Amino acid sequence: MISKILNLIKQQRKNKIFHKNATITGNNHVFGLRAGIALLCGSTKEDVEIKSNVWIYGNLVSQNHGKIYFGKYSKIGFGSKILSVNSVYIGDYTAIADNTTICDNNNHPVNPDFRLYMRTTSEFADARMWKHSDNAPIVIGKNCWIGTNVRIQKGVTIGDNSIVAACSVVTKSIPANCIAAGNPAKVVKTDIDKIPAPTSCQGYNEYVKKQQ
């Protein structure tokens, strides 16, 4: 009983943290006890937008007004993180599994002399901020499935309904309705929207009938 009360208190605190640091609309949100959100270098709650029925178990970090958007019914799993100094868009119904990293920037410039200078600065010095690195927006479309231990790099667009297999590194854009896998990720299957759905789930069968 005591543990349940403590978890309830922790959950209420977590909910307050997310409502303080993000623009949240709708209802039925889930913010895991290990989930986190950080606004750094001038970012505000207006830079993080979370729609209804979103589940967040991972960590979100916005620097210098980097935008993070979660569409309705989307989800990010345990140990996963979104690091934004530009823009990361997660479409409706998209699921991101555990331990995945989505980063719209290089974290630091590649120039060796700059990196040498950066090593001489303090932990939160300006030189270490993502704004100095190359960055580009990331767009993940509607109803995508991003597997465990995936990394999605800056400038990538993933089309609607597509799947990224576990442990893939996505460096280039992926079309809609396909499966991509590998390092670097490449398309291994197309037209997955034409693959018949299973008929073994009664709930799904009833859902289909209602759509007809």
Strand partners, 140: 90, 158
Nearest-CA neighbor of 66 among 92, 37, 104?
104
Q: Is 65 a catalytic residue?
A: no
Structure tokens at 178: 């396909």
Q: In whole angstroms, how far apart are CA 180 and each of 75, 95, 115?
A: 20, 15, 33
Q: Are 160 and 179 in contact (CB under 8 A)?
A: no
C-alpha 192/C-alpha 60 separation (Å) is 30
- Catalytic option among 19, 29, 108, 132: 108
C-alpha 18/C-alpha 12 separation (Å) is 10
Catalytic residues: 108
